[in-house]
Structure 1
Amino acid sequence: DVVVRREGPLARFGHDHVVSVRGLEGVVLLDEAGAASRADLRFRLEDLAIDTAEGRARYQLDTVPDEKAIEGTRANLMEHVLDAGQWPLVTVRLDDFSFREEHYSAMVTVTINGAQSSSRQPFRLQSSDETVRVEGSLVLRQTDLGLEPFSALGGGLRVADPLEIHIRLTGTRLAGPEATATR
């Protein structure tokens, strides 16, 4: 999920948003030492879910936009912010894994609209014979991804530059201990 906050002197007239990724697909390869571990994930922008009741409750967002507002947010996001017609996919690559005791991190590279942002990010990992579960949170700035945060009313109502990204992935192991497909 991505939580997008409102800001500006007129922020009380807007609302925060939660954008949920649906249809994530990819591969996670894990080895014991971590050096050869990597993950390649992707999703289509058209599969994003905007401001679902479940997502808004999960992050305790304090406003409830109506269907017209949600549709307007989706149209603005797809056309003016993300340019989904030109760049329909978002990719996320994790590599340079580090496993030290109970602490895990990886270099995370997000590619959106042809721009990339990379940073080392911590995460939690649970693994069994059948599944792998990854959880973590990070903050990315829209401007670091080449995106321009939405602004209205002469800048009085704006979308905040930082994006709060919350990751919860569960993968099912395929053939062998190192191959995993996400769901």
Structure 2
Amino acid sequence: MFHRGRLLPVFSACLLLAACTPPSTVTPPPGMPGSVRVATPASGERLLQIDPQATLLTITVRRGGALARLGHDHVIASRTVTGWVAPEPGQADFQFRLDAMTVDESGLRAQAGLDTTPSGDAIAGTRHNMLVRVLDAEHYPLVRVQARLQPGAQAADAAITLHGVTRTVRVPVRLEQAGDGKSLRASGAVVLKQSDFGIVPFAILGGAMAVQDPMELAFDIVAIQASAPGSAAAPAQ
């Protein structure tokens, strides 16, 4: 017999954006883009600074297996994204803190169409285990993304660094730029696989309770003109 209240926090934590294995260097599978190199913008180059208050990044993870009804799907969100966008070369460099992410905001669960309601205790336990037992946020507090827009294409190559692992993926992007060039919005969604990051999806009872391999990443990033060219803070190299 499983006590659902005790099982869910541990089970849910392994659903979240992270490996249940130590950090390692992963070889991209065939068909994946290569490395992304983003240079710090030159002095005087037009630079837009990401507005954390207007920017939202979410990850939706879903349960699987014959006993999936005993668990919950989850939405994890970041509202603390900082960094810059250089429109002319089509580059961006930004990051966010793991310990500032939220778990299962009711509004975001509704938007994602999730049909269960985890308790407050389950959400708190999930968040604690995500940060401490899974992501080791004390030693790896940041997630960093370096992106380069593909010329003439509605996509970007993005190098994502999480828990000591850097992975490059191609991400569909929809861009909206103000006529005066003082603001830009980039939005889109992409499905990533845990196994592409060298992660073995969590499973117990021979897979009767399991984590689905895909993770659904959605982003809505707003960048605005910095107070002066080159004044937007760039993540540390």
Q: What range describes the TM-score normalised by the shorter chain of this pair?
A: 0.7 to 0.9
Shift of 1:145: 2.6
Please tell me whether Structure 1 or Structure 2 has the larger radius of gyration of its CA atoms. Answer: 2
For residues 66-125 of structure 1, the C-alpha deviation after alignment (integer angstroms, 9 at most, x for no partner) is 101101111221123212122110001101x2242xx42111111101111112222100
Counterpart in the other structure of 1:8: 65
Q: Any unmatched runs of 5+ in structure 1?
A: none
* More strand by percentage: 1
Distance 2:176 2:106 in 1: 28
| Cα contact 1:172–1:180 (8 A) shared by 2 | no
Residue of structure 2 aligned with 1:120, choices 167, 170, 176: 170
Residue of structure 1 aligned with 2:90, choices 18, 25, 37: 37
Check 1:92–1:3 CA distance in 2 against 1; reply closer, same or farther (3 A cut): same
Check 1:125–1:162 CA distance in 2 against 1; reply closer, same or farther (3 A cut): same
Check 1:78–1:152 CA distance in 2 against 1; reply closer, same or farther (3 A cut): farther
Distance 1:28 1:56 in 2: 29
Counterpart in the other structure of 2:135: 82
What is the alpha-carbon root mean square deviation over aligned residues?
Answer: 2.1
| Cα contact 2:150–2:157 (8 A) shared by 1 | no
Q: State TM-score, norm by structure 2.
A: 0.67
Distance 1:27 1:48 in 2: 20
Check 1:180–1:137 CA distance in 2 against 1; reply closer, same or farther (3 A cut): farther
Aligned residue for 1:6, secondary structure, equals: strand
Shift of 1:177: 8.8
Instruction: Please tell me the residue identity of whatever aligns with 1:9.
Output: A
Distance 1:149 1:85 in 2: 23
Matches within 5 A, 1:93-132: 93-95=146-148, 97-100=149-152, 103-128=153-178, 129=180, 130-132=182-184
Check 1:26–1:166 CA distance in 2 against 1; reply closer, same or farther (3 A cut): same
| Cα contact 2:93–2:144 (8 A) shared by 1 | yes
Residues paired across the two proteins, number: 174
| Cα contact 1:3–1:165 (8 A) shared by 2 | yes
Check 1:5–1:79 CA distance in 2 against 1; reply closer, same or farther (3 A cut): same
Distance 2:142 2:75 in 1: 19
Q: Which range is displaced more, 133-142 or 79-88?
A: 79-88
Distance 2:150 2:232 in 1: 18
Shift of 1:176: 7.3
Runs of 4 or more off by more than 6 Å in structure 1? 176-181
Q: Any unmatched runs of 5+ in structure 2?
A: 1-57
Aligned residue for 1:78, secondary structure, equals: helix
Shift of 1:153: 4.5
Aligned residue for 2:195, secondary structure, equals: helix
Shift of 1:180: 7.3
Instruction: Please tell me the residue identity of whatever aligns with 2:202.
Output: F
Identity of aligned residues (%): 39
Check 1:44–1:26 CA distance in 2 against 1; reply closer, same or farther (3 A cut): same
Distance 1:179 1:140 in 2: 33
Shift of 1:147: 3.9
